[in-house]
Amino acid sequence: MSRLQLDPCPTINRYDDDSTINEEAITPPETVVDILEDLDPLKGPKGSVPWPGNQYIIRCTISGQVLTLIDGQVVLASPGGRGSIHWACVQTKGWLGFKNTVSGKYLGHEVKGNLRCSAARHNSWENFCVRQTPDLDYILLMTHFERLWHV
């Protein structure tokens, strides 16, 4: 194998008129973030599919707000405010569930379909599944009798 195959980017040696292969990798001395928003965990890469054993921040892609537990109520709120926004993903009988990491209660719904976070166990009204959209986001669906409702 020739040196050219090992280093596909030959450089000019500053100390010699002849073109040579630099044996050191060319890397910048540091990496700079141009915009602070690049560090925002709610921006950037698309969401990931929920998987049991991991924690998530559930975000509304339209408003940018996140599912937040405040004073026992589930609301959409701006990130960084008061309330708990981290949800641990669990699995029971093949269904996904989301347990609030602060309250220890499960995300679910009441009879009319409104979200709540008051169940001590992952039962049928706390069952969720996800579906990927064509733009690589995910839709969170909850069971309501024999139907799936969008969250």
The answer to whether residues 85 and 68 touch, using CB atoms and an 8 Å cutoff, is yes
Mean pLDDT over 86-111 rounds to 96
Map out the domains of the chain as residue ranges. Answer: 47-150
Cβ neighbour number for residue 138 with a 10 Å cutoff: 16
CA distances to 3, 28, 71, 132 from 10, in Å: 10, 16, 62, 43
Q: How far apart are CA 140 and CA 130, in angstroms?
A: 5
Cβ neighbour number for residue 83 with a 10 Å cutoff: 17
Give the confidence band of 2 by pLDDT, cuts at 50, 70, 90. very low
Give the confidence band of 115 by pLDDT, cuts at 50, 70, 90. very high
**CATH class given for the domain over 47-150:** mainly beta
pTM over 0.75: no
Which H helix or E strand runs over 42?
Answer: none
